[in-house]
């Protein structure tokens, strides 16, 4: 039998026959809600609106500077293939942001500063996939094969490397998501999501676009690939005594 009575506007008294455990459970229910458990805060962070805005601005500026350096590097080093990287990163970023917006509307996901950091890191991972493929093409051309033949042969080995690298990153992101708390989970979610989309972009955009370029005459005959130092290796070079 339990009976509750109010002693004043701010206090209450519950009388009845209780065991010690029942009394503690009732106290927890009254204090925290329907579940007889005590809630503990894992992390508490207070950020002023000004500080949060400045941190967001600094993160976006840092990402833009890093992205600009990457664009300049791939354009100078890979020439025409650098343009493929530019377009590929734009496709990757568009798909990633689209999925994030979808998750925000359906699952209530909010992009945090840590999540933005994950997106910036993922752009480096996507760029690395392009570089792996382009370097495989260079290796094939260095062995004396034509650019057109090298595109398909290089893709076979490059794809295995890209899949292995992305799976390791995705596995790390999954473990981090389930073991971490707070904003770190946002970093893990955006990193894992972007890594999965990297496989999609590599398979359905990177290889087909390079293959289409390889079918053009200018792509094979000019130095627009940034392979001037290896394009002649493996070819027969006329000499005074014949061919060497």
pTM for this prediction: 0.69
With a cut of 50, list the residues of the chain below it in pLDDT.
4-6, 229-244
User: What is the reported pLDDT for 9?
Assistant: 53
Domains of the chain: 2-32 (no CATH), 50-221 (1.20.1640.10)
Token pair recorded at residue 111: 């992009």
Any residues with CB less than 8 A from the CB of 233 and at least 6 apart, and which? 141, 142, 143, 144
Tell me how far apart the alpha carbons of residues 139 and 178 are, in angstroms, rounded to a whole number.
40
- pLDDT value for 35: 55
The sign of the dihedral angle between the CA atoms of 161, 162, 163, 169 is: positive
How far is it, in rounded angstroms, from Cα 186 to Cα 182?
A: 8
Give the single-character DSSP code of 239: E
Q: Which helix (H) or strand (E) holds 56?
A: helix 49-78
Q: What pLDDT, on the 0 to 100 scale, is given for residue 155?
A: 94
Given a contact cutoff of 8 angstroms between Cβ atoms, the answer to whether 198 and 92 are in contact is yes
């Amino acid at each position: 039998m339990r009976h509750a009575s109010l002693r004043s506007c701010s206090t209450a008294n519950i009388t009845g026959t209780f065991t010690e455990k029942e009394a503690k459970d009732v106290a927890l229910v009254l204090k925290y809600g329907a579940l007889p458990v005590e809630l503990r805060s894992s992390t508490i962070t207070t950020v002023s609106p000004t500080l949060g805005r400045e941190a967001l601005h600094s993160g976006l500026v840092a990402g833009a500077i890093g992205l600009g350096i990457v664009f300049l590097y791939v354009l100078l080093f890979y020439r025409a293939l650098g343009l493929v990287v530019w377009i590929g990163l734009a496709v990757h970023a568009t798909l990633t942001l689209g999925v994030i917006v979808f998750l925000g509307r359906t699952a209530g996901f909010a992009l945090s500063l840590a999540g933005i950091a994950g997106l910036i890191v993922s752009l480096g991972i996507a760029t690395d996939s392009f570089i792996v493929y382009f370097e495989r093409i260079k290796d094939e051309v260095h062995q004396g094969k034509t650019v057109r033949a090298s595109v398909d042969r290089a893709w076979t080995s490059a794809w295995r490397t890209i899949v292995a690298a992305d799976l390791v990153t995705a596995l790390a992101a999954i473990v981090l998501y389930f073991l971490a708390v707070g904003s770190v989970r946002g970093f893990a979610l955006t990193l894992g999501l972007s890594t999965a989309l990297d496989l999609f972009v590599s398979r359905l955009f990177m290889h087909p676009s390079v293959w289409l370029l390889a079918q053009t005459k200018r792509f094979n005959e000019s130095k627009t690939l940034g392979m001037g130092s290896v394009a002649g290796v493996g070819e027969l070079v006329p000499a005074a005594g014949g061919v060497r």
